[in-house]
Amino acid sequence: MDNSQRRLMRVISGETLTPPPIWLMRQAGRYLPEYRETRKEAGSFLDLCYSPEKAVEVTLQPIRRYAFDAAILFSDILVVPDALRRNVRFSEGRGPELDPIDAEGIARLKADNVIEHLSPVFETVKRLRKELPSETALLGFCGAPWTVATYMIAGHGTPDQAPARLFAYQNPGAFEALLSILADISADYLVAQIDAGADAVQIFDSWAGVLGEREFEDYAIKPVTRIIAAVKSRRPQARIIAFAKNAGYLLKDYRRKTGADVIGLDWSVPLSFAAELQKEGPVQGNLDPMRLVAGGHALEDGIDDILHHLGQGPLIFNLGHGIVPQTNPNHVTALVNRVRKAL
């Protein structure tokens, strides 16, 4: 099948489809018993990300269960700093950890061999495109420079990313250099995923919501614009979803400034505002993941509200962030059934 005929790609091109295509962030993950089994076999989390055989299996698991309209490559945004030799590791119950970087460390960063280091990811994409149903779109992704930089500077996740914000104020030149390095590597990384068979790619800026207006422009918009411009200059057919979580009203000009084809929306974005954003192009989102945990009327009402407000325009149905581990897989089945029977 020509990838332009896949339902997700048709919406990215501006069509309105009823029912809308659906996929879910973190649709492959700890809420699935089959994922937990594969994770045990893999050893470390990074071993799972870098094993094409196991990463393909994990990516396909939710497609087998739910027949989503898109599969998203199983990997992690921190494979990029791992490729930059920042000693990334994942500790059970503690999340990602890596060696914190300072201004001197940024000056010493070497981007050589990054794409070679990430070659198992591209092999996973190639295998997925062969194994996925022809009608299923394949998404690649990367972390946005701001979000990746927050982990590199603090060495771990923090509630409000104060270490990265403080570092940026105190070391503006070094911070700008780090964002530029990450943007250029990320563009190369996304192009390689597209060349391997990804139909579209998503840029995750999961920590955009902690930024003020000026900082959002400098740390979120400018680096993502740099990525998208670089990718599209080399692969004009590339289609890109940009997701700036908790950015709220700052999303008003985000599509126009960054050049993204689709804007991903978290659950805090009012549906009336989402409908305004949709007038300029496709949107993706934005069900609260807690409604998926709750199930029942809470889930049904949330789905119905989104379809009522956004179903008459180009919409990719998704969560406003990823599926959480305590989610009942049967609730995902109920979600898919309700979206596909609606309207």
Q: How far apart are CA 175 and CA 172, in angstroms?
A: 5
Q: What is the dihedral of CA 262, 263, 265, 269, to 10 degrees?
A: -130
- Direct distance between the N- and C-terminal alpha carbons of the chain, in angstroms, rounded to an integer: 27
Q: How far apart are CA 103 and CA 112, in angstroms?
A: 19
Q: How far apart are CA 317 and CA 11, in angstroms?
A: 11
Please identify every residue annotated as catalytic. Answer: 26, 30, 39, 76, 151
Q: How far apart are CA 205 and CA 210, in angstroms?
A: 11
Per DSSP, the residues of 60-100 read HHHHHHH--SEEE----TTHHHHHTT---EEETTTEEE---
Q: How far apart are CA 165 and CA 147, in angstroms?
A: 11
Per DSSP, the residues of 237-272 read T--EEEEETT-GGGGGGHHHHH--SEEE--TTS-HH
Q: How far apart are CA 153 and CA 99, in angstroms?
A: 8
